[in-house]
Structure 1
Amino acid sequence: MFGRRSKRGGKARFRQWLWPVGGIRRSGQYMIHRLARTKASPYSLAAGFACGAAVSFTPLVGLHFVAAGLLALCMRASVIASAVGTIVGNPWTFPFIWLVTYEAGRWLGFGGGVEGERIDFVSRFQRACDALWNLDLGGVAHAAGPILEPMMVGGSLIGVAVWLAFFLLLFPVIGAYKRTREVRLQSGRARRSAALSAGAKG
Structure 2
Amino acid sequence: MLFRRKIPLNLWQKVRQGLWPKSGWSRAARYVWHRLARLKDSAHGVAAGVASGVAISFTPFMGFHLIGAMGIALAARGNVIAAWIGTLIGNPWTFPFIWVAIYRLGSWMIGNRMDEGAHHLSFDLLVHHPTAALGPLLLPMAIGGLPIALISWFVCYWLVRRSIERFQAARRIKLEMVRKRLPKKEGRAVSQDMKRA
Q: TM-score scaled to structure 2, two decimals?
A: 0.83
The answer to whether the 8 A contact 1:111-1:149 is kept is no
Shift of 1:110: 5.9
Shift of 1:4: 2.8
The answer to whether the 8 A contact 2:69-2:80 is kept is yes
Amino acid of the structure 2 residue aligned with 1:165: V
Q: What is the CA deviation profile of residues 60-113 of structure 1, one whole-angstrom value per residue up to 9, with x for unaligned ones?
A: 112211111111111110110111111111111111000000000000016669
Amino acid of the structure 2 residue aligned with 1:65: L
Matches within 5 A, 1:1-202: 1-109=2-110, 115=116, 117=118, 127=126, 139-193=129-183
Between the aligned partners of 1:77 and 1:30, the Cα distance in structure 2 is 21
Shift of 1:30: 1.7
Q: What is the CA deviation profile of residues 22-74 of structure 1, one whole-angstrom value per residue up to 9, with x for unaligned ones?
A: 33233122211111112111111111111111111100112211111111111
> Match of 2:70, SS?
helix
The answer to whether the 8 A contact 1:111-1:146 is kept is no
Amino acid of the structure 2 residue aligned with 1:81: A
> Match of 2:92, SS?
coil
Amino acid of the structure 2 residue aligned with 1:41: S
Between the aligned partners of 1:194 and 1:119, the Cα distance in structure 2 is 75
The answer for unaligned runs of 5 or more in structure 1 is 132-138, 198-202
Are residues 118 and 27 of structure 1, via their aligned partners in 2, closer, same or farther at CA, if it must alter by over 3 Å? farther
Between the aligned partners of 2:88 and 2:164, the Cα distance in structure 1 is 18
Q: What is the CA deviation profile of residues 162-199 of structure 1, one whole-angstrom value per residue up to 9, with x for unaligned ones?
A: 111111111111111011112212322332226979xx
Amino acid of the structure 1 residue aligned with 2:100: L
Between the aligned partners of 1:28 and 1:5, the Cα distance in structure 2 is 25
Amino acid of the structure 1 residue aligned with 2:66: F
The answer to whether the 8 A contact 1:113-1:146 is kept is no
Amino acid of the structure 2 residue aligned with 1:185: L
Amino acid of the structure 2 residue aligned with 1:99: V
Moved more, 167-176 or 110-119: 110-119
Are residues 82 and 195 of structure 1, via their aligned partners in 2, closer, same or farther at CA, if it must alter by over 3 Å? closer
The answer to whether the 8 A contact 1:53-1:88 is kept is yes
**Corresponding residue for residue 191 of structure 2:** none
The answer to whether the 8 A contact 2:117-2:136 is kept is no
Amino acid of the structure 1 residue aligned with 2:142: M
Amino acid of the structure 2 residue aligned with 1:104: L
The answer for unaligned runs of 5 or more in structure 2 is 188-197
Shift of 1:119: 8.6
